[in-house]
Amino acid sequence: MVRRAGFRSLCEGGGFHRTGGWRWGKSVSDIFQEVDEEVRREQLKKLWERYGTYIIAVCILVIAAVGGWRGNEWWQTKRAAEAGAAFEQAVTLAESGKRQEAEAAFAKLATDGTASYRVLARLREAAELAQTDRKAAVKAYDEIAADKSVAIVMQDLAALRAGFLLVDNSSYADMRTRLEPLAAPERVFRHSARELLALSAWKEGDMSAARQWTNMITSDPQTPAGARSRAEVLSELIAASGKG
């Protein structure tokens, strides 16, 4: 087939000159170019006949994958918007003093909402419980703090809020077990955790431990001004007790 095409290309435009010789209608380079194009077309045709079905299938799969990704993205955005609206509505109920309705709304969102709003709803639900049932609130915070699927910063926040509820009645040993990991230099809520530990030790009469925590607070250059001022006041109380 290629030879016939090459011969046809060779002859096109040619003819006998009146002098009796053959006159070439095209240059040799043009002839070879046409032959190469014919070969390429033949190769492409064979490739398509062999792999065309697979190419079409791959194209369909790519289109389906892109469509599925776009659809999932739209669905997630829609769910996030709905969860955000539900969260705002629950917050409005809480601020209006409708605590039971707010608790129910946060509980529903904690189950049905998107991942981020589920955690926020659980925290707010625990905060609402703290107004009426501190024991239940501490339990709710503890569950969040122990949930490994929750981001560590949210776990720490839940543990810290439980500590705020317990500081007046729990022993220093219990508070230390709960909050000492949060007081490490790399933890986000270390300043608040140190304050609670210092206050707990002071309330229990363990002035040595209280002094340890207040020193840690005042020596940390990143300690917020408010926390530093409170630690300085507590340091003065420890000194005045004559036990520190």
Give the domain-ending residue among 99, 116, 151: 151
DSSP letters along 181-194, please? GGGSTT-TTHHHHH
Torsion of CA 229, 231, 236, 239, to 10 degrees: -160
Name the DSSP class of 146. T
**CA dist list (Å): 48 to 44, 51, 56, 58:** 6, 5, 10, 14
Do 213 and 140 fall into the same domain?
no
In a domain, 243, yes or no: yes
Domain that holds residue 232: 167-244
Name the amino acid, one letter, at 125. E
In a domain, 32, yes or no: no
Do 175 and 219 fall into the same domain?
yes
pLDDT tens sequence across 159-207: 999 999 999 999 999 999 999 999 999 999 999 999 999 999 999 999 9
Phi and psi (nearest 5°) for 223? Answer: -65, 130
Residues 163 and 155 sit within 8 Å (Cβ to Cβ): no
Q: How many structural domains comprise the chain?
A: 2
Do 134 and 198 fall into the same domain?
no
pLDDT tens sequence across 214-229: 999 999 999 999 999 9
In a domain, 224, yes or no: yes
